[in-house]
Chain A
Amino acid sequence: MAHQFPALTSEQKKELSEIAQRIVANGKGILAADESVGTMGNRLQRIKVENTEENRRQFREMLFTVDNSINQSIGGVILFHETLYQKDSQGKLFRNILKEKGIVVGIKLDQGGAPLAGTNKETTIQGLDGLSERCAQYKKDGADFGKWRAVLRIDNHCPSNLAIQENANALACYASICQQNGLVPIVEPEVLPDGDHDMEHCQYVTEKVLAAVYKALNDHHVYLEGTLLKPNMVTAGHACTKKYMPEQVAMATVTALHRTVPAAVPGICFLSGGMSEEDATLNLNAINLCPLPKPWKLSFSYGRALQASALAAWGGKAANKRATQEAFMKRAVANCQAAKGQYVHSGSSGAASTQSLFTASYTY
């Protein structure tokens, strides 16, 4: 406790910190394209496309081969294991295509949830076994960051003390191992939006969860400047009857982060959860216009909120390539603007009118 055995050298720290900053520089965010085979199955089924490896490859190819200007909005892409080794139709590795665009390649590292016995259906996350060796291999194969998603839910007696501590601890172990292998860990403690709780309750839970996460990261000697956080925004539960404006979501979210996330963390890239593409962008924009001090970059790490329109435009047909790529590019650019607080969607009057909608933070 009182003695220090440095986990990382100065050079290792410098490398990690530079990677992290590159991913979130200038309003850039992350495309989360790491849907597992099962999850891709859900997505493809909705557009009536068969869930084959080739179809998954084709869709990812559409996204990764867009015009180079995508690198103004996208700083990093998270891949699923299979995708890290796939190629485009000319035989070029996806990871090289992305790197040549100046985009940092990331890899999903967790291996899904496992139940916590004695709890109200809560889970922890597996994937620590052999993680160091896997990280070393992924680093050789071109990845520079990792992602690990822990899940907490709000319900009766949830999240419990055990769920919070156990998930925070697993996240910290994963983060430490990543850094030992030159990978920047994205730390994702998602508090699910399922339920009828109000936004205030989500804020309370998010604060408790994040406080536990950062204590665990400190206990595990994780170098914060070489990490990124991927949290939920603070929102009401899906079944909550009360409606909130983006400015309220923004204030509650930034207040929660303000109270728990040390300034050393270079960037916070929100997950989109079940939000529509437009809501995810509007909320991110309001977050960046929030009058509280924001010492970290506030950006995005979106899956569905970047891909939904593109997926629908594609419909499994190669002929729809242009429409697919345009749909994706449009969302990427919109979210990059939102990450700078500059998004103006049709019908709104821009930043000036929204400023007055922010209530003072002591009411949160």
Chain B
Amino acid sequence: MPHSYPALSAEQKKELSDIALRIVAPGKGILAADESVGSMAKRLSQIGVENTEENRRLYRQVLFSADDRVKKCIGGVIFFHETLYQKDDSGVPFVRTIQDKGIVVGIKVDKGVVPLAGTDGETTTQGLDGLSERCAQYKKDGADFAKWRCVLKISERTPSALAILENANVLARYASICQQNGIVPIVEPEILPDGDHDLKRCQYVTEKVLAAVYKALSDHHVYLEGTLLKPNMVTPGHACPIKYSPEEIAMATVTALRRTVPPAVPGVTFLSGGQSEEEASLNLNAINRCPLPRPWALTFSYGRALQASALNAWRGQQDNAEAATEEFIKRAEVNGLAAQGKYEGSGEDGGAAAQSLYIANHAY
């Protein structure tokens, strides 16, 4: 316990910290384009497109062919394994296209959830076996950051102490292994929005989960300056009858983070969960206007909230590709503004009126 056997050299730390800062540079966030084959099946079936490798390639091409306008609002793209080795129509690897735009390439490394026996349907996440070798290879193949998603849910008896502890531990193991291989780990402890719980309950659970995550990261000697956090925003459950404003969501979210996430963490990149594109942008904007001091970058790592309109515009037709790409660029720019608290919304009253809606934080 009291002896220090440095996990990383000064050079390794600098490399990790530089990568993390590049991803969350002011006004930039992450495009989560790492949907597994199974997840892509759901997205594509919604627009009546067959789930083939070619269609997945064509769809990602729509996103990655965005022009230089995305350079100022996208700092990183998370890839799925298959996509990391795919090329565009002219034979240029997607990885190179993204890197040439000055965007950092990331890779999803977890292997999905598995049940925790003896719990009320809770899970942990697998993928640690051979992870070091996989990370080393991904690093050679162009990835500089990784992502691993753990899942917790709120119900009468969950999340249980075991679920919190186990998921925090597995996240810390993954993070440690990534850093050994020069890869910045994005730590994602998602608390699902399913349920009828209110905002306060989500805040309480989020604080408990994040405290456990950061204790585990400390225990595993993870270098916080070379990590990013991808949490849920603090929101009510989907079935909760009470409606909350973006300012209330912002206040609860920032309060929870201030109580648990050490300032050494360079950036917090929120997941969008089930939020609509506009909701995800408005909430992120309110978060960045929250009057509480915020020592980390607060930005996005959005999947659906960046792609929903693009997917809909594309519908599998090459003729629609350009229009679809425009939809994506539009959401990317909006979220880039939201990450600076500069998004004026789609026409409704802007910042000034909303400021007064922030309630003092001792109410949280």
Mark A residues whose CB is within 8 Å of B.
1-2, 4, 10, 13-14, 17, 154, 157-161, 164, 200-201, 204-205, 207-208, 211-212, 214-215, 218-219, 224-225, 255, 258-264, 293-295, 360-363
Contact = CB atoms under 8 A, between A and B. Distances in A.
A2 B1 contact: no
A208 B14 contact: no
A362 B2 contact: no
Contact of B362 (A1, A2, A14, A200): A14
Given A215-B211, A262-B258, A262-B259, A362 B159 contact: no
Contacts of A201: 2, 4
The 5 closest A-B pairs by CB, nearest first: A211-B218, A218-B211, A204-B4, A362-B13, A13-B362
Interface of B is mostly: helix
Contacts of B215: 211-212, 214-215
B208 interface: yes
Contacts of A362: 10, 13-14, 17, 225
Contacts of B2: 154, 157-160, 201, 204-205, 208
A4 B293 contact: no
B157 interface: yes
B158 interface: yes
Contacts of B93: none
A263 B257 CA distance: 8
A4 B262 contact: no
Contacts of A215: 211-212, 214-215
A10 B361 CA distance: 9
Contacts of B43: none
A208 B4 CA distance: 10
Contacts of A4: 200-201, 204
Nearest to B203: A4
A264 B211 CA distance: 13
15 contacts: A10-B362, A14-B362, A160-B1, A160-B2, A201-B2, A201-B4, A211-B219, A215-B211, A218-B259, A224-B259, A225-B361, A258-B264, A259-B264, A260-B218, A362-B225
A123 B326 CA distance: 65
Given A201-B4, A218-B260, A360-B14, A2 B159 contact: yes
Nearest to B204: A4
Which of B1, B13, B208 is the most central at the interface, judged by chain A CB atoms within 10 Å of its CB?
B1
Interface residues of B, number: 45
A79 to B, nearest CB: 27
Contacts of A262: 258-262
B293 A214 contact: no
A293 B295 contact: yes
A2 B295 contact: no
A214 B211 contact: yes
Contacts of B204: 4
B339 interface: no
Given A159-B2, A160-B1, A263 B295 contact: yes
B164 A293 contact: no
Contacts of A205: 2
Interface of A is mostly: helix
Contacts of B155: 2
A68 to B, nearest CB: 30
Nearest to A259: B264
A362 B224 CA distance: 11
Contacts of B157: 2
B207 interface: yes
Nearest to A296: B263
A2 B225 contact: no
Given A260-B218, A362-B10, A362-B14, A161 B258 contact: no
Contacts of A255: 264
A271 to B, nearest CB: 20
A154 B4 CA distance: 12
Interface in B194-234: 200-201, 204-205, 207-208, 211-212, 214-215, 218-219, 224-225
Interface in B239-297: 255, 258-264, 293-295
Contacts of B295: 263, 293, 295
B259 A159 contact: no
B249 to A, nearest CB: 18
B49 to A, nearest CB: 40
A211 B214 contact: yes
A164 B1 contact: yes
Nearest to A14: B362
Nearest to A222: B259
A295 B264 CA distance: 11
Contact of A259 (B164, B262, B363): B262
A225 B263 contact: no
